[in-house]
Amino acid sequence: MSKNLSDLSGRKGISKNLFEELGIAAEATGTPSLDAMENLRDEFLIGKANVYGSVSFYDFLKPENKGKKVYVCNGSACMTAGTQKKLKEKLSNYFSAEETGEMCCLGRCHENNAFHVNGKNYSGNDINEIENIKKGISTTPDQYLVGCKGTPVLTGEYGSVNDFYKIFIDCLGKSPEMLLAELKESGLRGRGGAGFSMAFKLDSCRNAISDTKFIVCNADEGDPGAYSDRYIMEHRPHAMLMGMMIAGYITGATYGVVYIRGEYPESVDIVNDCVKTLRNEKLIGSAINGSDFSFDFKVIKAQGAYICGEETALLSSIEGQRPEVRVRPPYPTQQGLFNMPTVVNNVETLANLPFIMQQGGKAFAAIGTKKSTGTKLISLDGYFKRPGIYEVDMGTPLSVVIHELGGGFRKPVKAMHIGGPLGGLVPVHKIESLTVDFDSFAKEGFLLGHASVVCIPEEYPLIKYLEHLFRFTAHESCGKCFPCRLGSTRGYEMLEKAQGENYKIDISLMNDLLETLETGSLCALGGGLPLPVKNALQYFEKELSPYFNK
């Protein structure tokens, strides 16, 4: 059925898609009206249940979102910082409970106190300007430290648009095979979590036979604590866009779709403006620079669903379907968006391509380690003395990041959740034994992922944090597979009961639950949740023992 829906949704092409139209229909009140959904259903020939099923899933489309005027960040970094309770109290003087909703996460992890009003994000001391903010008078944009230790692949200035895009014009003078060879030599692995070879994806799509192919940028960076993709989109957006164009040239794709999370409104505006600039400069469109290559962009604003960070759920979302994870094979490179060959990569991965094509694959491979080449962006939260975005060569000791770049912790911390909610829970005594690369983290039983760092202070109950992770997964689950849908709910129920009643969790039962989640889930949402829980049970047994019965 979903394959047929993909074909129906693709009838109008990418210029007008059902998902975007649902978002437009929701702008006035926060949710599409029944009449608007009926009209769109008729226009796209989609069933009533399919349209309502999609609308009811997204945080910013569902009927419960109607009338919301302010949103408070409920991400892990703001939660452990303990800033949001007082923030809500202050906002309650200006907005009723019915007008107040929640967002996760706004990417303001460096200073917390994050909230969203009138289509813009705020944090830090901005709450003190709430009267002006409510009137539509903007405050200063957020500021955070940006640093580099090693090679500035992603944090270096790239100059004017026309000068920077000479890299792409030079690419058009070479064959796609030559560019793919450079990419293979670079050893570039995906920066979104799995660390999958980018060259393998592009080669697979290139070999697929189709008149239409897509390059999709997964800018739905939803990992609480991670704001490196936001940094690129707002401060180095053309690196990402050129990366998509190079990928399109290699694979034979003529369309690029940038799917940006709705929690990053400034990123959406900036990237849209950059696309306009490229169009005005005739750097995109038909027969670019007199070549045989044509390429154009579509920027889509997401509507609040962490699961859309999973590539197949993201594709279903663009099509206007409920964003459920697809069973593979077939893989997106053979049957992706609208059932056409599609490559999906995240922002940071794509932003590396201009450097590789300008300096050569060998130069990129010389940075970092043999198996983890290049650099990595790291997001440090507000518990550091110097929070911000830092770029380091792969293989850099984690201690250098924590103590030298981050300046150490501003108050005692017992653990760091690195790599998003599905990443490893790293006790502070492990800092000296880790280096920033895929293999070091995997060897120690952790996950590098987005390399976001959310600190858990000494006084924060770890049992409460684990409950938060299960609740997060339960809320964000697409619901397609029962290990994730039911297992996450059973998990937070047990943890909640252990804290509030005379109840101890049977450790065998918890281990069985974690094994079911890990082996039975369709994607990394349910499959990745057990990792931080296992880390906590291993390294913080003494703290957690009162809640478990062995």
Q: Is residue 90 helix, strand or coil?
A: helix
CA distances from 134 to 129, 137, 478 (A): 9, 7, 34
Q: What percent of the chain has a predicted confidence (pLDDT) above 70?
A: 100
Spatial distance between the Cα atoms of 319 and 329, rounded to a whole number of angstroms: 19
User: Does residue 241 register a pLDDT over 70?
Assistant: yes
Please give the distance of CA 277 from its chain centroid, rounded to a whole number: 25
375-455 adopts what CATH topology? Ubiquitin-like (UB roll) (3.10.20)
User: Does residue 543 register a pLDDT over 70?
Assistant: yes
Spatial distance between the Cα atoms of 455 and 76, rounded to a whole number of angstroms: 9
Nearest Cα to Cα of residue 123 among 143, 137, 104:
143
Nearest Cα to Cα of residue 527 among 190, 194, 79, 196:
194
Q: Residue 467: which residues within 8 A CB-CB, separation 6 or more? A: 492, 495, 496, 499
Pairing of strands 424-427, 342-346: unpaired
User: Does residue 548 register a pLDDT over 90?
Assistant: yes
What does the block give as tokens for 7? 């074909």
Looking up tokens 């043999």, which residue turns up? 370
Q: Which of 7-16, 456-465, 510-519 has the lowest mean pLDDT?
A: 7-16
Spatial distance between the Cα atoms of 393 and 115, rounded to a whole number of angstroms: 33
Q: What pLDDT is attached to residue 373?
A: 98
Spatial distance between the Cα atoms of 406 and 166, rounded to a whole number of angstroms: 35
Q: Is residue 137 helix, strand or coil?
A: coil
Query: For residue 390, which amino acid is it?
Result: Y
Q: Is residue 453 helix, strand or coil?
A: strand
Please give the CATH number for the structural domain made up of 149-365: 3.40.50.11540
Spatial distance between the Cα atoms of 2 and 468, rounded to a whole number of angstroms: 32
DSSP 360: -
Tell me what the mean pLDDT of segment 325-338 comes to: 94
Please calculate the CA angle 349-60-379 and round it to the nearest 5 degrees: 35
Longest dimension (CA), the chain: 74
Tell me what the mean pLDDT of segment 443-449 comes to: 95
Dihedral of CA atoms 37, 43, 49, 53 in degrees, nearest 10, equals -60
User: Does residue 3 register a pLDDT over 80?
Assistant: no
pLDDT band at residue 1 under the 50/70/90 scheme: very low
- Chosen CATH of 462-549 out of 3.10.520.10, 3.10.20.70, 3.40.50.300, 1.20.1440.230: 1.20.1440.230
Spatial distance between the Cα atoms of 325 and 162, rounded to a whole number of angstroms: 39
Spatial distance between the Cα atoms of 416 and 403, rounded to a whole number of angstroms: 14
Looking up tokens 């880790």, which residue turns up? 434
Spatial distance between the Cα atoms of 173 and 168, rounded to a whole number of angstroms: 9
Q: Is residue 486 helix, strand or coil?
A: helix
Spatial distance between the Cα atoms of 77 and 146, rounded to a whole number of angstroms: 19
Q: How many residues does the chain have?
A: 550
User: Does residue 12 register a pLDDT over 90?
Assistant: no
Residue-range domain boundaries for the chain: 2-65, 70-143, 149-365, 375-455, 462-549
Q: What percent of the chain has a predicted confidence (pLDDT) above 90?
A: 92
- The per-residue pLDDT of the chain, averaged, comes to 95
Please give the CATH number for the structural domain made up of 70-143: 3.40.30.10
User: Does residue 481 register a pLDDT over 70?
Assistant: yes
Spatial distance between the Cα atoms of 58 and 117, rounded to a whole number of angstroms: 19
Spatial distance between the Cα atoms of 506 and 502, rounded to a whole number of angstroms: 13
Query: For residue 163, which amino acid is it?
Result: D
pLDDT in tens, 364-394: 999 999 999 999 999 999 999 999 999 999 9
Spatial distance between the Cα atoms of 236 and 186, rounded to a whole number of angstroms: 21
CA distances from 49 to 388, 431, 546 (A): 44, 50, 46
Dihedral of CA atoms 251, 212, 350, 144 in degrees, nearest 10, equals 170
Spatial distance between the Cα atoms of 508 and 86, rounded to a whole number of angstroms: 39
pLDDT in tens, 65-74: 999 999 999 9
Query: For residue 329, which amino acid is it?
Result: P
Spatial distance between the Cα atoms of 417 and 105, rounded to a whole number of angstroms: 15
DSSP 405: I
Q: Residue 433: which residues within 8 A CB-CB, separation 6 or more? A: 444
pLDDT band at residue 2 under the 50/70/90 scheme: low
Burial class (CB in 10 A: 0-12, 13-18, 19+), 320: buried
Q: In terms of pLDDT, which residue wins out, 176 or 8?
A: 176
Spatial distance between the Cα atoms of 265 and 521, rounded to a whole number of angstroms: 32
What does the block give as tokens for 38? 């009926």
pLDDT in tens, 36-92: 999 999 999 989 999 999 999 999 999 999 999 999 999 999 999 999 999 999 999
Phi and psi at residue 313, to the nearest 5°: -65, -35
Q: Residue 302: which residues within 8 A CB-CB, separation 6 or more? A: 220, 259, 260, 261, 262, 308, 317
User: Does residue 289 register a pLDDT over 90?
Assistant: yes
- pTM attached to this predicted model: 0.96
In the chain, how many H helices and how many E strands? 26, 16
User: Considering Cα of 16, then 19, then 21, then 27, what sign does the dihedral take?
Assistant: negative
pLDDT in tens, 94-141: 999 999 999 999 999 999 999 999 999 999 999 999 999 998 887 778
DSSP 505: E
pLDDT in tens, 244-269: 999 999 999 999 999 999 999 999 99
